[in-house]
Structures are given as C-alpha cells and as structure tokens.
Structure 1
Amino acid sequence: MSDLVAIVYPSEAKAEEVRQRLLKLQKEYLITISDAVIAVKTESGGIKLNQLVNTTAMGAMTGSFWGLLIGVIFLNPILGVAIGAASGALGGALSDFGIDDAFMKQLAGSLHTGNAALFVLIKNMTADKVLKEIKDAGGTVLKTSLDDAKEQALRDALASAAAERPAA
C-alpha cells in the first residue's frame, strides 16, 4: 500500500529541489516513488500542476510509433504518424495515474500565492535516511496518509529545520 505525503514550500524552486533529492534517493534504493507532483498557486489564484511524467507527450510519442507502423502497412506512413500522434496525445491528456489531479487542486487551493506543495506517493522507504536528507529544506506538512508516529516524526524533522534557520 502506498502513502501520500503533501508538504508546502515557499516557492516552486524549493519544492522542485526536494523532489530532485527524493528522485536521487530513489536511485539509491532508499525510497520508491509512484508519483511526485508539484502544485503551485498562481497570481490569478489558479493551481498549476507540474507532473513528474507528461502523459500527453508520452501518449503522442507512443501513438506516433504505432501510427507509423500501421501507416507502413497501408502504404501511408506520414498520415499514420499524424493520426497516431493526435490520438495518442488525446489519450495521454485524458489519462491520469498516480495522485488524483482534482484532489491535489482542492488541497492546493488553501496555499498562499506563490507557494508550492509537493505531493509524493510513496510505495516504500527507509524513513530515517529519507528524513535526514530532506529535513534541512523545511516545509510544512499539508496532509499525509502515514501512521501517527511516522507523521509526527516528519513534522518534527521539518520543524527542527525551521527552528534552526533563524538562529543561523
């Protein structure tokens, strides 16, 4: 079962920095991430989602391949690529995996303008090593599905970074 963690940061750049740290930890097999999305509240009040995987582009790419293959069979590869790319892009835009977009937009609605929330769907992790790597970035826990002890450990680690920052 996966756990959801949503942490608020003062900027999109800070949230992206933490996401890159988590992806680095994934390469070290300390965490397994299903999805990692950054939600930013824009000046106009809207919510922009910065997905880890662009499903529209992936759909267009795979659609182009299959369209080319079918186009070669019917002796019109260019038309096949065009139709395949268009249908793949449409399918990719309509598909959603990982964290539900509507759920993220609803939670991110409470952010202040310019703030960003990092939503991470975690399959498994070595909690103490992951916390050690991200705690200095600070942040505020918005929502988690962690058990009470793990959530409190996360809140304490992030709060300790905030407490150390003014003293430095």
Structure 2
Amino acid sequence: MSDLVAIVYPSEAKAEEVRQRLFKLQKEYLITISDAVIAVKTEAGPIKLNQLVNTTAIGAASGSFWGLLIGVIFLNPLLGVALGAASGALGGALSDYGIDDTFMKDLSKSMQPGNAALFVLIKNMTPDKVLREIKDAGGTVLKTSLDDSKEQQLRDALAKTSTDPAAPKTNAA
C-alpha cells in the first residue's frame, strides 16, 4: 500500500529542490516513490501541475511505433505513423498516472498564490533517514494518508524549520 504526502512550500523552486532530494534518497534505496508532482498556484489563480511523466508524449511515441508497424504491413507506413501518433497522443492525454490530477488541483486551491505543493506517492521508506534529509527545507503539511503518529512526526520535523516569517501560508479550509 502506498502513502500520499502533500507539503506546501513558499515557491516552486523550493518544492523542486525537495523533490530532487527525494530522488537522490530513492537512488540510495531509502524511499520508493510511485509519483511526485508539484502543484503551483499561479498569481492569476489557476493551479499548474509539474508532473514527472508526460503521458501525451509517451502515448504519441508508442502510437507512432505501432502505427509504423501496422503501416508497413499494409504498405502505407506514413499514414500508419500519423494515425498511430494521433491515437497514441489522445490515449496518453486521457490517461492519468499516479496521483489523481483533479484531487491535487482541488487540494491546492487553499494555497496562497506563488506557493507550491509537493505531492509524493510513497511505496515504502525509511522514515527517520528521509525526515533527516528533508526537514531543513521546512514546509507545511497539507495532507497525508499516514497514520496519526507518523503524520505528527512529519509535522513536528518540518515545524522546527518553518517558524520563520517566510514560511508558506495556506488558507485554512
């Protein structure tokens, strides 16, 4: 079973820094991440998602391959590639991988403009070592699926560095 953790940071750059730290920890086998998305609330108000995987591009690439293969069989490879890429891109755009986009956008509405939330879907981790690596980045826990004691440990670790006035603020929902 995977756990979801969403932490708000004052900027997209800070959220990206923490995401890169988590990827480094994953290379050290301290955490296994299924998905890691940064949601940014723009000054104009809409939520922008910075996803790891561009499903439209992947769909177009795989569709092109299969379209070429089928096109060669039916002696029209260019038409096959075009149809395959179009159908693959459409399928990729309609698919959702990892954390639900609508869920992230709805949850991120409570943030102040300019803030960014890092959503991480964690398969497993070594909590004490991971917390030690990310706690100095601060942040405010927006939502988790962790049990109460683990969530409180995370909140406490992040709160120690979030007492500065530049800490991100959220609108309480």
Q: TM-score range by the shorter chain?
A: over 0.9
2:111 is matched by which residue type in structure 1? L
Question: Structure 2 regions of 5+ residues with no counterpart?
Answer: 167-173
Show the counterpart of 2:171.
none
Please give the alpha-carbon distance, in whole angstroms, between the structure 2 residues aligned to 1:77 and 1:24.
42
CA deviations over 1:12-71 (Å, ceiling 9, x no partner): 111111111111111111111111111111121101111111111111111111111111
Corresponding residue of 2:34:
34
Aligned equivalents of 1:103 and 1:117: distance in 2? 12
Q: Distance in 2 between matches of 1:69 and 1:93?
A: 22
In structure 2, the residue matched to 1:11 is 11
Q: Kindly indicate which of the two structures has a greater share of residues assigned to helix.
A: 1
State whether residues 140 and 162 of structure 2, in contact with CA within 8 Å, keep that contact through their aligned partners in structure 1. Answer: no
Where do residues 149-168 of structure 1 align in structure 2 (5 Å cutoff)? 149-163=149-163
Retained in 1: the 8 A contact 2:37–2:119?
A: yes
- In the alignment, residue 143 of structure 2 is paired with which amino acid? K
How far apart in 1 are the matches of 2:77 and 2:112?
Answer: 50
Provide, for residues 126-162 of structure 1, a one-character-per-residue CA deviation record: whole Å limited to 9, x for no partner.
Answer: 0011101111111000000101111111111111122
User: Aligned partner of 2:34: which letter?
Assistant: S
Higher mean displacement: 92-101 or 156-165: 156-165
Kindly indicate whether the alpha-carbon contact (under 8 Å) linking 2:65 and 2:81 is maintained by their aligned counterparts in 1: yes
Aligned-residue sequence identity (percent) comes to 84
Structure 2 residue identity aligned to 1:51: Q
After superposing on structure 2, the runs of 4+ consecutive aligned residues of structure 1 that deviate more than 3 Å are 163-166
* Structure 1 Cα separation of the partners of residues 45 and 91 of structure 2: 28
**SS in structure 2 of the partner of residue 88 of structure 1:** helix
- TM-score, normalised with respect to structure 2: 0.92
**How much has 1:164 moved relative to structure 2?**
7.6
SS in structure 2 of the partner of residue 133 of structure 1: helix
Counterpart CA distance in 2 for 1:163 and 1:49 is: 27
Please tell me the root mean square deviation across aligned C-alpha atoms, in Å: 1.4
- What is the count of residue pairs matched by the alignment? 166
